[in-house]
Amino acid sequence: MFFNLFKTKREPRPIFEALGTDMHCHLVPRVDDGSKCVEESIECLQTLKAVGYSKVFITPHFCVPRFPNNEEDIKARYEELKRQVKEAGVEIELAGIAGEYRIDSGFAPRLEAPRFLQIAGKYVLVEFPLHQQLMGCDELIFDMQMKGYEVILAHPERYPYLSVNSSRMEQLKNQGVYFQINALSLGGFYGDEARKKAYTMLDNKWVEFMGTDTHNTLYAQALSDLTCDRKVAKVLETYEFLNKTL
């Protein structure tokens, strides 16, 4: 107890310079379960800069009915945030607005008149429902691919029904789905199962992207703490992620 009083807080190390670009975060204020206000977004972006990122794509949830976001409205809000971030003097590039589209029962109509906000004009980030996947989701992904979209699945390590030992993950890889793990999964932020799965996926070379999935300052603080994790630093030094290509 006595010693804890004098425990100094460790400064973040810029270990994410190796990636350069974060391609998954929720920092458009008040549009989903992410940042609550512009000040919080700015604080999170300052942390992203401090841990080594130079470029960020923001990816709000698109999920009916919980977050019935509309692409045009999100674009306008993003432009406003970009202006405020510049005004605040945060030295990080806001490289674009995309989305994290949930493949659930409300997803199919999006394919009839697609307006997906894409990462780097190329990739569509999708997520599955956390506890049960939608029947027929592979067909929906296939339809997207047929329409010319490159599909990235957000945090496969977080879905309890998606085991690394089943053929399901391999099947998604064979279908040409890119995998994005969350940096915080490697530190156990989402529990031990997700941490183990993320490392196994890296061992299997199934991962193309790493994202922060920053929602608020709690995530940003956890990310800052993660920079002292040597095992994570080693992954960033040695693994070939595609973030740099964005």
Given a contact cutoff of 8 angstroms between Cβ atoms, the answer to whether 238 and 207 are in contact is no
We find the least distance from the C-beta atom of residue 33 to Fe ion, in angstroms, to be 9
| Amino acid letter, residue 141 | I
Give, as one character, the DSSP assignment of residue 30: T
Residue nearest to Fe ion (CB): 213
Identify which range of 71-79, 138-146, 161-169, 208-216 contacts Fe ion by CB under 5 A: 208-216
The C-alpha atoms of residue 126 and residue 95 are separated, in whole angstroms, by 19
Q: Which two tokens stand for residue 244?
A: 């740099």
The C-alpha atoms of residue 104 and residue 98 are separated, in whole angstroms, by 18
Helix axes 38-50, 217-226, angle to 10 degrees: 10
How many residues sit in the footprint of Fe ion (CB under 5 A)? 2
- Select from 169, 181, 213, 235 the one that contacts Fe ion (CB under 5 A): 213
Prior bond of 114 cis (ω within 30°): no
Identify which range of 14-22, 76-84, 209-217, 235-243 contacts Fe ion by CB under 5 A: 209-217
> Binders of Fe ion among 18-77, rule CB under 5 A?
none
Nearer to Fe ion, 100 or 208 (CB): 100
We find the least distance from the C-beta atom of residue 165 to Fe ion, in angstroms, to be 25
The C-alpha atoms of residue 205 and residue 34 are separated, in whole angstroms, by 30
Nearer to Fe ion, 208 or 213 (CB): 213
Nearer to Fe ion, 68 or 86 (CB): 68
> Binders of Fe ion among 91-120, rule CB under 5 A?
100
Residue that is written with structure tokens 């019935």 in the block = 68
Residues lying near Fe ion in the complex (CB under 5 A) are found at 100, 213
